[in-house]
Amino acid sequence: MAEQIIRTEYSDVMQKSYIDYSMSVITSRAVPDVRDGLKPVQRRVLYAMNELGLNYDRPHRKSARIVGDTMGKYHPHGDSSIYEALVVLEQDFKKGMALVDGHGNFGSIEGDGAAAMRYTEAKLKKFTQDVYLADLDKDVVDFVPNFDETEKEPAVLPVRVPNVLINGAEGIAVGMTTNIPPHNLAEVLQAVKAYMDRKSITTEELLEYVKGPDFPTGGLVVNKSELIDIYETGSGRLRLRGKVEYEPARRRGDKDKLVITEIPYTMIGTNIGKFISDVVALIESKKTSDIVDISNESSKEGIRIVLELKKNADVEKLTNMLYKKTRLEDTFSVNMLVIADGRPEVLGLKGIIEQYVKFQFELATRKYRTLLRRDLEQKEIKEGLIQACDRIDLIIEILRGSQNMKMAKECLIHGQTEGIRFRSEKSEQEARELRFTEKQATAILQLRLYRLIGLEILQLEKEYEELLAQIAEYEKLLSDPKAMAKAVKRDLNAIIKEYGVPRKTVIEDGKEAVYVENEIEEQEVIFLMDRFGYAKTIDPAAYDRNREAAEKEFKVSFSCMNTDRICIFTDIGAMHQVKVKDVPFGRFRDKGVPIDNLCNYDSREESIISLMPGNAMPLKKLLFTTANGLMKQVPASEFAVSKRTVAATGLKGDDRVVGVHLLDPDIPDDNVVLITEEGYYLRFRLSEIPDKKKTAAGVRGIRLGDTDHVAHVFLLKHQKMEELPYKKATVHYTKVKLARRDGKGTKLR
């Protein structure tokens, strides 16, 4: 076949390819289908378990077998993602209704990971079998080829509850995310019934049934008044709080306690440990002195985080502080994005219920059509058997006189008697009048002799009557929408009765947590940071007593006020801020804490170039120098910001900052000395460097060779320097001739 060249715009090809990729991620990986509320990997895991026969009343099977079957037959992706989906389906602290019964270590609410798949075992829960996988054999959903067209898999599971609401969903696609909270099973199904009774029902009226989210971790939702808007639009923010209980001391020697018995859903996992460390930080920073000890007494029975209190502690103030300063109060961003009619769409509560009811009627219609078809086939067969029992002597005579099965069957269906020996002409005449259908003839030929017993014949007639009644019922359901709706409601009531559970989460309009920090007494402190990045503050008197040791042991030391902020400039052009009061205050020999823990600075990605107190900066300027020789002066007022991290300067390509100096306005005429990695020295006046905005790149301070970079920057008067580093010794600055900015510099000999 000759090669065909298609001429097209490259941008058009890229756009189409990206859109195709995006839609594939959205519809085939990250976002659940509104009909069964499942992502493809979850659907395939459950179907694979069903095909393996892992029923609730059967033994557990190794998770590795389940993952292997899912990956080999239906989901050709990594085994870790499949196992992770299986684990989440088992975790009842993440799902409103867990769908998998796990055996072994499937992780914990505190963030412990599940054991390897070769150690854990699983099977389906009864709820999953009854509500998610029932009726698959009744042609209720379409089956599609798997990835290599060797197997068939359901396009959607015949789930009989709105799973997308009951178990919630979360997923990150390309350009969009979904985050749906779990809800109470009984409440959602009651709302569904109300919608079926009156399609014009409003979201506000639906919320009389669905009180709000029902998280498996319990807790409180404290913005009840905003729920109408959230459920109307399908997006918004829930404010969650943990449940705090006060336990007074019961006997002498005991302490009063604050006990967290329920946590916000967003605190699941490592955030429980983060909460405890945040409380410890509040104690260490002296923001509270009411907490004596904190311990995590959580177990399989539930969450129990205990805070032991001082006598006469202000419980209300302490509770409000926990809500304000830790994740005991948090937000849950709702975005009810689902796949509806094959495309992603954000739906409100009523929209999801509407799609669910439409799907249920489709399932019920297909189910009853299949049952009707099967019963009509059975009716046909039973009618033939009843007729055969009435003329059994003739049929036996035909069977005895036939030479083979085909001859007997042709006689039963078409009345053909050629080649069959009859005892009399009357029998042959009666045989010519037989007109059984093919199915009836097959059933007659397979009829066992014991069915000719009198009671068996009566049972056959009884079954026939029951069959007629069932057929009439199915025909009514398929022809009468009201009767179909009644049947769907009957199924919902049965599910509520067997699987409904009480609500766990309290919905209310909680009062705003008001916490006013105690004003700290302003005082001077000395900030110290060693070469390992451990920082602390100490009393100036302690510093004076240990000045010599401090100068040797600490890389950075300066005086500041405890109400001040510390600005940290790094080589990637960022400025991080730390409140001095957040830096541990202690004794000279205390270790301190890593500066990384106090701000967004990441020692793995960036290096500290300069630290300075923020109060020293107003009305001054900062001198920035980069490795590529670019320099600028920036008014320090541009860095008077509240954000913890800001961009301090603009950098091009792989350039990096090598110097940040605070300029003293009382020293206007200073000399700058630049020293490069290849040993070039350049001295020029500070006034030659212009003022620029912090986002600007700057002007060239020195002309560099192709492989050279600026290594050191010195300000002679600011830093009170007379000697400059030269190889392994020093040299007086006068050895470097005063030149102009943007020169190449000279090598000292």
Query: What is the amino acid identity at position 250?
Result: R
* Alpha carbon distance 138, 241 (integer Å): 45
Whether the CB-CB separation of 701 and 742 falls below 8 Å is answered with yes
CB atoms within 10 A of CB 451: 14
Helix (H) or strand (E) segment spanning residue 491: helix 481-499
Q: ∠ at Cα 33 (27, 36), nearest 5°? A: 150
Q: Which residues, 6 or more positions from 86, have their beta carbon under 8 angstroms from its beta carbon? A: 45, 63, 66, 67, 100, 117, 122
User: Three-state DSSP class for 169?
Assistant: strand
Q: Which is the catalytic residue, given 18, 21, 56, 119?
A: 119
Alpha-carbon distance of 390 to 393, in angstroms, equals: 8
Strand ranges of the sheet holding 593-594, from the earlier edge strand across to the other edge: 554-561, 524-530, 534-538, 593-594
d(CA 470, CA 572): 76
246 forms beta bridges with 258
Cα 462 vs. chain centroid, distance in angstroms? 56
Please state, in angstroms and rounded to a whole number, the distance separating the CA atoms of residues 369 and 484. 12
| Nearest partner of 600 among 580, 556, 559, 570, judged by Cα | 570
Q: Which residue type occupies 68?
A: G
* Upper half-sphere CA count for residue 691 (Cβ side, 13 Å): 8
From CA 706, how far away is CA 743, in angstroms rounded? 15
CB atoms within 10 A of CB 191: 23
Active-site residue 74, yes or no?
no
Do the strands 291-296 and 177-180 form a parallel or antiparallel pair, or are they unpaired?
Answer: unpaired
If DSSP codes are grouped into helix, strand and coil, which group holds residue 531?
Answer: coil
Q: Are 102 and 122 in contact (CB under 8 A)?
A: yes
Detail the DSSP E strand segments found in 255-367.
257-262, 291-296, 305-309, 329-335, 337-340, 343-346
Q: How deeply is 457 buried, as exposed, middle or buried, from its count of CB atoms within 10 A (0-12, 13-18, 19+)?
A: middle
Strand partners, 346: 337
> If you search the block for the tokens 């336990």, which residue do you land on?
247
The answer to whether 288 and 321 are in contact (CB under 8 A) is: yes
Complete edge-to-edge strand list for the sheet that includes strand 671-676: 710-715, 671-676, 680-685, 746-747
> What is the three-class DSSP state of 654?
coil
Instruction: Output the CA angle 350-356-360, nearest 5 degrees.
Output: 140
- CA distance to 183, 270, 355, per residue, from 160 (Å): 15, 34, 12
> Beta strands of 22-66 (E only): which ranges?
61-62
Beta strands in 386-523 (DSSP E): 506-507
d(CA 140, CA 134): 10
* Cβ neighbours of residue 386 closer than 8 Å, sequence gap 6 or more: 460, 461, 464
- C-alpha 673/C-alpha 663 separation (Å) is 15
Which burial class, exposed, middle or buried, applies to 705 when counting CB atoms under 10 A from its CB (0-12, 13-18, 19+)? Answer: exposed
Active site members: 119
